[in-house]
Amino acid sequence: MGKLDVIIIGAGIVGLASAFYLKKENSDLNIMVIDKYASYAQGNTSKAAAGFRDLFSSDPNFKLAKSSISFYDHVQKDLNFNLDMKYIGYMYLLDDEMNKKYNAIIEGLERKTKTRRLSREEIIDYFPSINLDPDKVSMDVMKLRPIVEAFVGLNCGILEPDLISNYYYNELEKMGVEFKFNTKIERLNLEPVNKLEYPGEPFIWQDKKISSISSSKDTFFADNFIIATDVWSPLLLDPLGIDSFARPKKRQIFQIKGENVEKALFNEKKFNDDGILPFTIMPYGVYIRPSIKEKAFRVAVSDDIGRAFEIDDDPYPEENFYVYNVRPVLLIIFTQPGKFKDLLFLGR
């Protein structure tokens, strides 16, 4: 195999998007995307919560998010490529302390993008399944406080990662980008820019570059390499002393279904065009991501309970984590008479 212009390791959403924009801006580039799985978007991309938002106080993050949302919107509406993109909103439920703490940030976001504040009365009107007043035990033990307001980002919502990945992959095939699957890259090969053919190279006074990458069977050469392997990047970069600044930490998404879930999911009084509960962030960061086709909730939290930083290629759901960490918040925020008494762990 000849030398390529660019090799991208990782065919998840980052690798696919990188290849797409490189090829779009430089059509003459010879690009190959390599992945250890049998197809694209099989790693963390397939496990994403799949929400989009532009609620960032950092200006670079806001611009990146806003332009990405505009592009996805263009793909779905103008190019007629379905992404299941729905502007259902991102809703943050705020108690009094949170409202005061984040008010300055909220006011800044209100000047940047489309948002809306909901009073207690409006929350009850639109989302009757949401409980705004925790019981005394919950307030004492879990330090929960009454919800006083909701802040909603309107230029936010959900889409399906497999569909946006399909779009990129189809376009890349048309552009002539080469894909090589079932190929696990095990090593990055470092060499001096100007070889002396002397044992021990490269030396500290030599300019160095990654000249090739190797799997168990093949070696691939290119002028440029993009490492789009997410939390697996340290496995390739650590041996070269390059810090990827990426650390793996297990995150779990659980799916719950049932009659009462459906009642909370679909609203008779429509807050958004789809008449469903927004992507909702509750106390302690527990969030609900509506899953419309399945008539279910995907629930998760970015936990901070001393979990180790470690690679897990085949993560499994932990029922106890759901039962003792996620479920108690759900039952309090969604406890109305006769509602949400039957939340079950289904796992994902």
What is the structure's pLDDT at 305? 80
Q: Region 32-57: what's the mean pLDDT?
A: 94
Looking at per-residue confidence, does 202 or 15 come out higher?
15
Looking at per-residue confidence, does 346 or 182 come out higher?
182
Task: Give percent of the chain with pLDDT exceeding 70.
Answer: 96
Same domain, residue pair 280 and 316? yes
Band the pLDDT of 346: cuts 50, 70, 90. very low
What is the structure's pLDDT at 260? 83
Same domain, residue pair 112 and 54? no
Same domain, residue pair 101 and 50? no
Structure tokens at 222: 């290119």
How many CB atoms sit inside 10 A of residue 279's CB? 26
Q: Region 210-219: what's the mean pLDDT?
A: 94
What is the structure's pLDDT at 88? 96
Q: Region 87-94: what's the mean pLDDT?
A: 97
Please give the span between the terminal C-alpha atoms of the chain, in angstroms, as a whole number.
41
Same domain, residue pair 220 and 325? no
Give the CATH number for residue 286.
Answer: 3.30.9.10
Tracing tokens 């008010």 back to the chain, one arrives at: 103
Q: Region 141-166: what's the mean pLDDT?
A: 96
Spatial distance between the Cα atoms of 89 and 271, rounded to a whole number of angstroms: 9
Domain boundary among 240, 264, 287: 240
319 sits in which H/E element = helix 319-321
What is the structure's pLDDT at 1? 63
Question: Residue 216: inside a domain, yes or no?
Answer: yes
Same domain, residue pair 119 and 168? no
Tally of domains within the chain: 2
Domain boundary among 217, 240, 263: 240
Question: Residue 342: inside a domain, yes or no?
Answer: no
Domain boundary among 188, 211, 240: 240
Band the pLDDT of 347: cuts 50, 70, 90. very low
Lowest mean pLDDT among 231-235, 267-271, 328-332: 267-271
Same domain, residue pair 139 and 170? no
Give the CATH number for residue 12.
Answer: 3.50.50.60
What is the structure's pLDDT at 345? 38
Residue-averaged pLDDT of the chain: 91
Q: Would you say residue 321 has pLDDT above 60?
A: yes
Spatial distance between the Cα atoms of 184 and 218, rounded to a whole number of angstroms: 10
Structure tokens at 107: 């006011």
Looking at per-residue confidence, does 171 or 134 come out higher?
171
Same domain, residue pair 208 and 65? yes
Read off the pLDDT of residues 161-200 as tens digits, 9 standing for 90 and up: 999 999 999 999 999 999 999 999 999 999 998 988 888 8
* Contact of 25 with 55, CB cutoff 8 Å: no
Residue 193, Cβ density class (10 Å: 0-12 exposed, 13-18 middle, ≥19 buried) = exposed
Question: Residue 84: inside a domain, yes or no?
Answer: no
Q: Region 76-100: what's the mean pLDDT?
A: 96
Spatial distance between the Cα atoms of 149 and 142, rounded to a whole number of angstroms: 20
What is the structure's pLDDT at 331? 87
Structure tokens at 112: 């940047």
What is the structure's pLDDT at 335? 63
| Backbone CA torsion sign across 9, 12, 18, 22 | positive
Question: Residue 341: inside a domain, yes or no?
Answer: no
- pTM comes to 0.90
Same domain, residue pair 75 and 122? no
Domain range for 299: 90-155+249-333
Q: Region 312-322: what's the mean pLDDT?
A: 84
Residue 247's closest CA among 229, 228, 227, 231?
231
